[in-house]
Amino acid sequence: MELQESNLSFLTYWQIIKRRWSPSLIVFLTVFIISLLIASLKKPSYVAEGKLKFQRTNATSTLTSLGTEIGTLQPVVQDNKTSPLNTEAEVIRSVPIVQKTIKQLNLTDNQGKPLKIKPFLKKLNVSDVRGADVIQISYKDTNPETTAKVVNTLINIYLENNIFANRTQATAARKFIGKQLPKAESIVRQAEAELANFKEKYKIVSLNEEATKGVEIITDLQKQISQTQSQIAEVEAQSQEIRKQLDMNSQQAVIMTSLSQNSGVQDILKEIQQLESQLAARRNILQNNHPEIVNLEDKLTSLKSILRQRVKNVAGKNSQNQNNNFQLGQLQQQISAKLLELESTRLGLVNQATALSNLQAEYKQRLNNLPRLEQQQRQLERKVQAAQSTYSLLLQKLQESQIAENQNVGNASVISEAIIPEEPVTSRAIIFLSAGVVASLAALANIYFLEATDKSIKTVDEAKELLGLTTLGVIPTSSKLKKTINARETTEFYNQRLLIPSLTRSPMSEAYRMLRVNLQFMSANKELKVIVVTSSVPREGKSTVAANLAMAMAQMERKVLLVDGDLEHPIQHKIWKLTNNEGLSNVICGQIEFKTAVKTVMNYLDVLTAGVLSSSSVSLLDSQKMAGLIDSFAANYDFVIIDAPSLTVAADATILGQMSDGVLLVVRPGIADSVNAITAIEILEKSGQNVLGQVVNGVIAKNEPHSYYFLEENQPQKSAVQEYVKNFVETRSH
């Protein structure tokens, strides 16, 4: 498929070249001769060239390891297309270096004025050598000595500029570092002070050792806390047992022991006990309201009140919670003392456990804070380290910049100076080749311009593609009709349009017969009796096609009527050598009868000329009379062929097409253009015409890429007919 498309494209281009070869050859020769004349008038040009070698860093800096970054060749944009040599080439072409070269050599133009920068740069060529760190500098001029001087001077100025640029970079770096060094020193001091204050604030000596030691201490404290809690549990168990025996808690035991050992309380108790004994003895004898009994009861009440007061003084607020047993035995007092001792021991152990827990919590909190302190310490240490590193680097760079400032070296060196050229650069072969290239481009431009401005239809394929109609016939141009059709055609020339009788086996006659066959194929589905032949514009040969088609149909012994429907510009009477005094217009107006106006020109073929010209031809054709005439023609003849005016000239063709069975559109390559052809198709579509197809007329053999459209004269026609039939059948099937 791709091979076929490429072949079609080649054939299309070849046909274009064949059509335009004559004017293009004239343009080619003209431009070629002018180019040779211009080249011969020019003075010979000479080119001198020199070469510079570049290093990424200068050799002195590399050997001394000082100032290696100054003047380093590095591209800003990191990609495969960017090279430092391209940058240096632009520096060589820069305005300051060019101006200095022009001024130093006192270069002038043809008028004796100082040479401008643009003309200088046109003569200058600066390019890098592929695969090497080398830049080639060349200069073109008519004076060979000037070329060498310009290249060598330009190289020297660039080298001076390169060294000066490197030295300027070193000076700027030294000044900048000198300003930044005190600031860097101040930053170092500040960072060191912050680190010292941090260690002093949090009492830090070594956080790693402190963390290890803290873990050990916390472990030891945990052991002590566990031991203390075990002792507390043991003491608590003993105290609990003693409290059960005494039926009192430790506080009550303390109070009871104090009361048992208090002499004042014990004396009152003894008196109360004696008085209660007396009262009990007297009650056995006396009644309760006896004065002695009452007196004893009063004394007993007073003693109890005194006892409560003394108990309160000894026991304090807890006296109310005590029972009335204020006397303990020796064993109870010892047990109470043991309880008090155990309680004291428990309190001491509890306090010890609390102290150990608090100390452990402090160590744990310290350990929990150690990661944060370590992070802060690392940040401060990094800050100190970065400040110190920056300060050290600035000191080193200051020394390097001072040394580099005193160096007289650069990245470029001369590997080849320019020498005076002996021969010019342009040879005779190059001049002819350049002139040929320019002339060829001009010829191609001429071909493109002619094709772009020419809107005419040029080939059968273009007619097919543009109009989209079925191609019913392809009529080649006969050797007798290769004259240019103009408005002053003679009678003899009109006679030559009737080709079928005179050229019985010619390609043209076979083409008309094939057109007749194709129309018969179409009438197999629907009868075609009345056919209107028209075109998009005049001079496309529609009248010739109508006349020859009528002859081809008449040769089948079918009765045919050829009607000249172009009332304003009739031609059929000239083709058939007939008078045009009476014709179609006279019949429509009723001036004469049809039988009188019609003329028999050959067997089975009658011709009805246009008749006397009328200023209102449209009104004549667009009438009931004309419609009736066409119906009468169709009833009396087997075929009626109407030669109608062009579609873009008058509306006659569309009017006649409505009264016929179909319209046949004639297209002539070289005469019909795409604009008018498309307009004609639109007119036919909008008016609802039954377009049978197109007939491509006047086809020139050399303009067609496909040979099967036609054959030369006197060649067998069998293959051509077969191709026509095959083409038509395929079109109808689609």
Q: How would DSSP label each residue in 151-164?
A: HHHHHHHHHHHHHH
Q: What are the φ/ψ torsions at residue 245 (nearest 5 degrees)?
A: -65, -45
What is d(CA 639, CA 637) in angstroms, rounded to the nearest whole number?
5
If pLDDT is split at 50, 70 and 90, which confidence band does 283 have? confident
- Tokens encoding 577: 């050598």
Q: pLDDT at residue 713 above 50?
A: no
Query: Any bridge partners for residue 602, and if so which?
Result: 605
What is d(CA 115, CA 103) in angstroms, rounded to the nearest whole number?
9
Three-state secondary structure call for residue 232 = helix
- Mean pLDDT over each residue of the chain, to the nearest integer: 77
Q: pLDDT at residue 80 above 60?
A: no
* Nearest partner of 13 among 581, 639, 613, 459, judged by Cα: 459
The model's pTM: 0.47
| Choice between 14 and 219, residue whose per-residue pLDDT is larger | 219
Q: How many CA atoms lie within 13 A of 141 on its CB side?
A: 24
- Residue 702, C-beta contacts closer than 8 angstroms, at least 6 positions apart: 18
Q: Are the beta carbons of 643 and 565 closer than 8 angstroms?
A: yes
- Measured from the Cβ of residue 283, the count of other Cβ atoms closer than 10 Å reads 15
Q: What is the pLDDT of residue 71?
A: 52
- Per DSSP, 670 falls in state T
- Pairing type for strands 412-416 and 46-54 reads antiparallel
List, as one string, the DSSP characters of 719-731: HHHHHHHHHHHHH
Residues 582-598 have a mean pLDDT of 89
- Tokens encoding 617: 């031809």
- Tokens encoding 579: 């008078």
User: Which residue's structure tokens are 């059968």?
Assistant: 460
What is d(CA 568, CA 611) in angstroms, rounded to the nearest whole number?
10
For the stretch 285-317, pLDDT in tens is 877 788 878 787 777 787 777 777 767 766 665
Residues 437-444 have a mean pLDDT of 82
CATH of 457-483+490-700, one of 3.30.70.1560, 2.60.120.200, 3.40.50.300, 3.20.20.70: 3.40.50.300
For the stretch 370-407, pLDDT in tens is 777 777 777 887 888 888 888 888 888 877 777 766 66
| Choice between 250 and 112, residue whose per-residue pLDDT is larger | 112
If pLDDT is split at 50, 70 and 90, which confidence band does 58 have? low
What is d(CA 684, CA 654) in angstroms, rounded to the nearest whole number?
7
- Per DSSP, 569 falls in state S
State the sign of the Cα–Cα–Cα–Cα dihedral 391, 392, 397, 398. Answer: positive
Using alpha carbons only, what angle is made at residue 285 by residues 279 and 289, rounded to the nearest 5 degrees?
70
* Nearest partner of 678 among 527, 460, 456, 495, judged by Cα: 456
Q: Are the beta carbons of 509 and 503 closer than 8 angstroms?
A: yes
- Tokens encoding 36: 């040779």
Least confident window among 64-73, 97-106, 582-591: 64-73
Residues 486-491 have a mean pLDDT of 42
- Residue 725, C-beta contacts closer than 8 angstroms, at least 6 positions apart: 514, 517
List, as one string, the DSSP characters of 607-662: EE---S--TTHHHHHSSHHHHHHHHHHHHH-SEEEEEPPPTTT-SHHHHHHHHSSE
15-28: b (≥16 Cβ within 10 Å) or e: bbeebbeeebeebb
Query: Any bridge partners for residue 451, and if so which?
Result: none
What is d(CA 577, CA 545) in angstroms, rounded to the nearest whole number?
17
Q: What are the φ/ψ torsions at residue 486 (nearest 5 degrees)?
A: -135, -175
R_g over Cα of the chain = 66
Three-state secondary structure call for residue 322 = coil
List, as one string, the DSSP characters of 131-183: TSSEEEEEEEES-HHHHHHHHHHHHHHHHHHHHHHHHHHHHHHHHHHHHHHHH
Q: What is the pLDDT of residue 82?
A: 61
Q: What is the pLDDT of residue 643?
A: 94
Q: What is the pLDDT of residue 717?
A: 40
End-to-end CA distance of the chain: 21
| Choice between 727 and 46, residue whose per-residue pLDDT is larger | 46
- Tokens encoding 574: 């000239």
Three-state secondary structure call for residue 637 = coil
* Nearest partner of 534 among 674, 390, 370, 683, judged by Cα: 683
Q: What is the pLDDT of residue 70?
A: 52
pLDDT-above-90 percentage for the chain? 14
Structural domain spans, the chain: 1-41+428-454, 457-483+490-700
For the stretch 6-45, pLDDT in tens is 554 666 666 666 666 777 788 888 887 887 777 666 677 7
Q: What are the φ/ψ torsions at residue 9 (nearest 5 degrees)?
A: -65, -40
For the stretch 314-348, pLDDT in tens is 666 555 544 455 555 556 666 767 767 777 787 88
- Measured from the Cβ of residue 650, the count of other Cβ atoms closer than 10 Å reads 19
What is d(CA 436, CA 432) in angstroms, rounded to the nearest whole number?
6
Using alpha carbons only, what angle is made at residue 524 by residues 521 and 529, rounded to the nearest 5 degrees?
90
- Tokens encoding 53: 């070698």
Residues 465-484 have a mean pLDDT of 73
| Choice between 235 and 633, residue whose per-residue pLDDT is larger | 633
- Per DSSP, 505 falls in state T
Q: Are the beta carbons of 515 and 722 closer than 8 angstroms?
A: no
